[in-house]
Structure 1
Amino acid sequence: MPDKIHLENILFLDIETVPEKSAFDQLDDTTKELWAHKSQYQRKDEITAEDFYERAGIWAEFGKIICISVGYFIIQGDRRSFRITTFHGEENKLLQDFKDLLDEHFNHAKHVLCAHNGKEFDFPYIARRMIIHGISLPQKLDLFGKKPWEVPHIDTMELWKFGDYKHYTSLKLMAHVLGIPSPKEDIDGSMVRVVYYEQNDLNRIITYCELDVLTTAQVYLRLRNQPVLKDVEVKKVAKK
């Protein structure tokens, strides 16, 4: 376990994504064709590309990020606090704001990013969407030429695998088996598209995203055999 990493040098994060368009018929013909080809291996014969489009948010080429929540520890002597904030709004702006955070406050060798299943989803998704928007990659997401042990990323799911690469464990299940109090979430990942496009309730999604950041931090503490956060130690701060 990476218990030698100082907690205040870790940026915990989670993203929420949706299909780039609210409906399949809003895509141009080329994108429709490319989506049909991309999704073909996952669709059953009776499911059309249009019907399957509600899942497009999981691919960076066909989806977009609607919020990035981040959390970080502040250690002052024996006291600790955990601050959470969220970048949201237009994707280009929230990605630029997130890049600025990394460039200005988490750009040294000692700094690392942490997410649950981040190495397969969050980190590459953010990097791909930045490239699509013409945003230069921050140092912590630019992995070109880096050896595996040089990658500044922690993945709580990977830590739990202990080398068993065919094993998948959800954040919710890890929190449960590790005895971490379950946050009161009123939605799950499968509902984000509906809440965003049909209910127009981004704040509800932000709350869900922030709870996942907190849970990821709690799981990481348990993996280090350290006490979990108390409610009084967690503070939500407004996005600057």
Structure 2
Amino acid sequence: MNVMVFDIETVPDVDGGRRVYGLDGLSDADVAQAMYQLRMAKTGGDFLAHHLHRIVAISVVFRHADQLKVWSLGDLDSDESELLRRFFDGLDRYTPTLVSWNGGGFDLPVIHYRALRHGVSAPRYWEVGEDDREFRFNNYLNRFHWLHTDLMDVLSGYQGRAVAPLDEVATLLGLPGKMGMSGAKVWDAYQAGDLASIRDYCETDVLNTYLVYLRFEYLRGHLGAEAYAAEQGRVRDLLGTAEAAHLQEFLKAWDANGAD
């Protein structure tokens, strides 16, 4: 397997909000509140438009050769452009299958805008066959190709009315689901300076996504029963030797739920 499951966590791009809405002179908290209110007035909901999010964490599960790792890119001091460069560097080096939950609807469009904002070049990601003929038939950008597998999109049959949240699907499968916080609490945690908890939360999300992906690979016959069990065992071994408390808690919750 050559797979990279990814997830991002974001906060309001308050610098962008100041530029777009002319909110100079306000604190970050007040700018964010104004952005939410303006969005509510426009759409009836306060979820910000994709181009007004700023990425504060990108977490991945990486399965390559005999490796299986889960981590958050960069460190607590890494800025957004470094996170993006590290993300695209992994694609340039390994050309993995990208796996996400709603990555096509949220994570990747945000990544596109933020890469544009910071001038982060990513030719391998944007390849569609002009330089590499193989990418004509399978690339990261085509919704119906497999090089990026958006599990929410695929499992819903590309029907918006059939989509489901990761937390509920993971819970149905006996997986831990959301742990520690939710996306709605990320801005509060960020304002409190608790980026570490945001990164931990993001890592548990990609673990849930990876385990759903393994079930999907079994569902479509890419993994037999023994191989599926072996891949789950790799995850258990990884978590069982982890020192990080959130990874230990994930394994405990998984065991307690009695997932198949």
Q: TM-score range by the shorter chain?
A: 0.7 to 0.9
The answer to whether 1:155 aligns with 2:150 is yes
Secondary structure of 1:121's match? helix
The structure with the greater share of residues assigned to strand is 1
Q: 2:186 aligns with which of 188, 192, 199?
A: 192
Rounded Cα–Cα distance in structure 2 between residues aligned with 1:155 and 1:148: 8
2:69 to 71, 83, 86: 83
Structure 1 pair 144/118, CA: closer, same or farther in 2 (3 Å)?
Answer: farther
From the superposition, tell whether residues 174 and 127 of structure 1 become closer, same or farther in structure 2 (CA, over 3 Å). same
Asked whether 1:131 is paired with 2:105, we answer: no
Aligned position for 1:3: none
TM-score by length of 1: 0.73
Any idea what the Cα deviations from partners look like across 1:81-116, whole Å, max 9, x if unmatched? 52012124211121112222221232xxxx321100
The letter for the 1-side match of 2:44 is: R
CA contact (8 A) 2:57 2:72 kept: yes
Kindly provide the amino acid, as one letter, of the partner of residue 189 in structure 1.
G
Where does 1:100-111 land on structure 2 (aligned, <5 Å)?
A: 100-106=89-95, 111=96
Residue 60 of structure 2 contacts residue 70 of structure 2 at CA under 8 Å; is this kept in 1?
yes
Asked if 2 retains the 8 angstrom alpha-carbon contact of 1:114 and 1:156, the reply is: yes
Tell me which amino acid in the other structure corresponds to 2:86: D
Distance 2:108 2:186 in 1: 19
Correspondence list, 1:141-180, <5 A? 141=126, 148-150=143-145, 152-180=147-175
Does the 8 Å contact 2:178/2:205 carry over to 1? no
Identity across the alignment (%): 27
**2:42 maps to 1:41:** yes
1:12 maps to what in 2?
5
Residue matched to 2:57: 67
Note closer, same or farther for the CA distance 1:142–1:61 as it changes in structure 2 (3 Å cut).
Answer: farther
Give the helix-richer structure, 1 or 2: 2
Q: Cα distance, 1:231 vs. partner?
A: 2.4
Query: Which whole-Å CA distance do the structure 2 matches of 1:144 and 1:63 have between them?
Result: 30
Q: Contact between 1:85 and 1:236, CA under 8 Å: does it hold in 2?
A: no
**Cα RMSD (Å) of the superposition?**
3.3
- What is aligned with 2:214? 221
Task: State how far apart, in whole Å, the 1-side matches of 2:177 and 2:171 are.
Answer: 11
Which 5+ residue runs of structure 2 have no aligned equivalent?
A: 24-33, 131-135, 137-141, 219-227, 244-260
How far is 1:122 from its partner? 1.1
Aligned partners of 1:43, 1:144: CA distance in 2, in Å? 40
Match of 1:95 among 84, 108, 113: 84
User: What do residues 167-211 of structure 1 show as CA deviations (whole Å, max 9, x unaligned)?
Assistant: 12111111111222x0571211100000001x1000000000011
Q: Would the alpha carbon gap of residues 172 and 144 (structure 1) be closer, same or farther in structure 2, given more than 3 Å must change?
A: farther
Q: Name segments (4+ residues, structure 1) moved above 6 Å.
A: none
| Preserved contact between residue 70 and residue 203 of structure 2 (Cα < 8 Å) | yes
Q: Distance in 1 between matches of 2:16 and 2:150?
A: 33
Q: Helix, strand or coil for the counterpart of 1:224? A: helix
1:36-94 CA-partner distances (Å, limit 9, x unpaired): 776543237xxxxxxx5xx43xx332120001111112444xxxx52012124211121
| Larger RCO: 1 or 2 (CA < 8 Å, sep 6+) | 1
Q: What TM-score do the two structures reach when normalised by structure 2?
A: 0.68
Q: Any unmatched runs of 5+ in structure 1?
A: 1-7, 45-51
Q: What number of residue pairs does the alignment pair up?
A: 208
